[in-house]
Amino acid sequence: MPEKNALVKKLLKGIAYTFSGFVALLLIIAVYLFCVAIDYPPTPKDTSSMNLRRNEPSPGFYTIKDNWFRKSKSGLYELYVEGEPYERGVVNGKLTKELVVRQEDYFTAQIAKLVPSAFYRSFLKYFVAWFNRNLSKNITEEDKEEIYGISQSASDKYQYIGSNYQRILNYHAAHDIGHALQGMALVGCTSFGTWDARSADSTMIIGRNFDFYVSDDFAREKIVAFFNPASGYKFMTITWGGFIGAVSGMNNQGLSVTINAAKSDVPTSSATPVSLVAREILQYAKNIKEAIQIAKKRKMFVSESFLIASANDKKAIVVEKTPDTIDVYDPNTNFIVCANHYQGKGLVHSKGNIEQLKNSSSLYRYKRLMELLGKNGKNTVQKTVDVLRDSKGLNNANIGLGNEKALNQFISHHAVVFEPQKLRVWVSTSPWQLGQFVCYDLNKVFALKGMKTDHEINENDLTIAADTFLKTQSYKNLVAYRNLAQRAHNDERVDPDSLIITNPQYYNAYVVAGDYLFKQQQYNKALNFYRTALTKVIATKQEESQIKQKIADCVKIIK
């Protein structure tokens, strides 16, 4: 018995040592995360802008000195800010405070929807903190000061995630992190341009869909922002509350930039967010040569294509950049097309690009875009908008509404058309790219020198009308399908056949119906839906493999 007691004591002592070691390890990890992952805010020389107060000359129209913020009748929010970096950020935050708060609400709500477990969300918080441990080191002091300024207007209710500055800073890498973790399941943005003989008036026309989806609410509150920085060029971007990066924009030199995600390996840590590289190009480049120089000097942690059009060069190119290398694709003709794969000689034959061409929807969309450009003749702004709204497959095939192989997947945060040589830009209004495209003349907007009374600043006579698709039964069916699919995902009661009727050519409608029935243990019915899904045009090889695995699971259970 004494020997047994001694053995038990020895065992307990070992457990105690092990537990102590585990606690010590956790403390070490916590200290490490605190040391390497927490970004301390910059220290601006002049913080007097914090004393500025927002004025409201009329309901919904806000001003601070010569800066202003309003909501257009089109539904688009419009913002003008000027000055030094920190002041720009502070003023931006004060003017758009409600949107800064709401956009974070939408963002965190979507994360909660995607990651329902509070435990896993907590883990995700620490993963992002570790992943972004080098983020601050790769962002310019100017950008950090501007982000810090905006963060003063962020909500305090998310302090459990991180300080206001930490959170707003990290959100600038959200596109990159999401793009990296999705791997093969990239959401597909598409952009293109024409000039010289390919444009009706020979001038440059650039169009793009930005398919970055957080939620419908997030997409509805778009901001058309006009920046007049103390250094660099004046420029505009299409953005959202709390975000200073650029995903689509043009400066007053007639240089436009749009970004398209490319196939990336999963990175081990962050570097400079893509949107801040694009922002720097807009602010400091007047031509393609200067844009390439800026792209070269910034280290990125994901792969991206920058479609850059220049009025000074009278052409457009694509800068293809990976974490390790950079290439420039110049078509040496009068049009350019960009999906989510590389075209330059340096990267087109890379292993990752070959996989992307084979397994993703990128090549299909590229072919569809080439098909439409070939049929359309000389391009115009209206024709560009029509292309961006196209939801058909090759040869006008019906591939279902929402298919990733379509140019229009009905998820766009925005679509935009640039005329760099005329300094005009058209921005889509909700829903997606189906609403009106509102035109802005950069020369006129930047000539306002402040706005004292609320009035429209867009070029009303150049507005592109809303898509007639909005008045069709097909649009009503699409809305019904989205609602039913969401209910099915939430395990609410739905009729699978009714769901299919709303979008009968879309493979994923059958997958959603099959998944719903599988959960109900109706394996034979689920099997039939999965098999039908395989007869439709499927967006990616990965999804096709997943459907085949679901069929195998059903067959195994039925046997």
Per-residue pLDDT tens over the stretch 195-236: 999 999 999 999 999 998 777 888 889 999 999 999 999 999
Q: Which two tokens stand for residue 478?
A: 């699409």
Percent of the chain scored above 90 by pLDDT?
A: 75
pLDDT of residue 100: 96
Residue 323 lies in a domain: no
Q: How many CB atoms lie within 10 A of CB 178?
A: 17
For 483-500, what is the mean pLDDT?
A: 95
**Crossing angle for the helix pair 507-519 and 523-533, to the nearest 10 degrees:** 170
For 321-335, what is the mean pLDDT?
A: 95
Residue 162 to residue 143: CA distance in whole angstroms: 19
Contacts of 115 (CB under 8 A, 6+ apart): 121, 124
- Give the pLDDT confidence of 94-151 residue by residue, as tens digits: 999 999 999 999 888 877 777 777 776 776 776 677 667 777 788 999 999 999 999 9
Residue 241 to residue 38: CA distance in whole angstroms: 23
Residue 250 lies in a domain: no
The domain tally of the chain equals 1
pLDDT of residue 360: 92
Task: Look up the domain containing 535 and give its range.
Answer: 474-558
Residue 555 to residue 559: CA distance in whole angstroms: 6
Residue 281 to residue 232: CA distance in whole angstroms: 10
Domain of 539: which CATH number?
A: 1.25.40
Residue 40 to residue 46: CA distance in whole angstroms: 18
Say which residue, 95 or 28, is predicted with more confidence: 95
Percent of the chain scored above 70 by pLDDT?
A: 88
Q: Which two tokens stand for residue 91?
A: 């003023």
- Angle in degrees, CA 150, 151, 156, rounded to 5: 140
- In the sheet where 326-329 sits, what is the strand order? 55-58, 61-64, 67-71, 77-83, 223-229, 235-239, 248-251, 255-261, 304-310, 315-321, 326-329
Task: Pick left, alpha or beta for residue 102 (phi over 0 → left; psi -120 to 50 → alpha; otherwise beta).
Answer: alpha
Residue 413 to residue 148: CA distance in whole angstroms: 25
For 523-533, what is the mean pLDDT?
A: 97
Residue 534 lies in a domain: yes
pLDDT of residue 82: 97
Residue 488 lies in a domain: yes
Q: Count of residues for the chain? A: 559
Residue 457 lies in a domain: no
Closest by alpha carbon to 128, among 140, 120, 138?
120
pLDDT of residue 25: 42
pLDDT of residue 22: 45
Residue 187 to residue 191: CA distance in whole angstroms: 13
pLDDT of residue 267: 64
Alpha carbons within 13 A on the beta-carbon side of 251: 25
Please, are residues 285 and 311 in contact by the beta-carbon 8 Å criterion?
no
User: Does pLDDT of 186 surpass 60?
Assistant: no
Residue with tokens 């109706």: 522
Looking only at the bridges linking them, the beta strands covering 414-419 and 326-329 are unpaired
Say which residue, 126 or 73, is predicted with more confidence: 73
Q: Provide the pLDDT confidence category of residue 296 given band limits of 50, 70 and 90.
A: very high
Residue 501 lies in a domain: yes
- Calculate the average pLDDT of the chain: 89
Please, are residues 401 and 411 in contact by the beta-carbon 8 Å criterion?
no
Residue 362 lies in a domain: no
Residue 547 to residue 150: CA distance in whole angstroms: 45
pLDDT of residue 168: 92
Type of residue at 14: G
Q: Is the peptide bond before 59 cis (omega within 30 degrees of 0)?
A: no
Residue 237 to residue 97: CA distance in whole angstroms: 18
Residue 256 lies in a domain: no
Please, are residues 417 and 248 in contact by the beta-carbon 8 Å criterion?
no
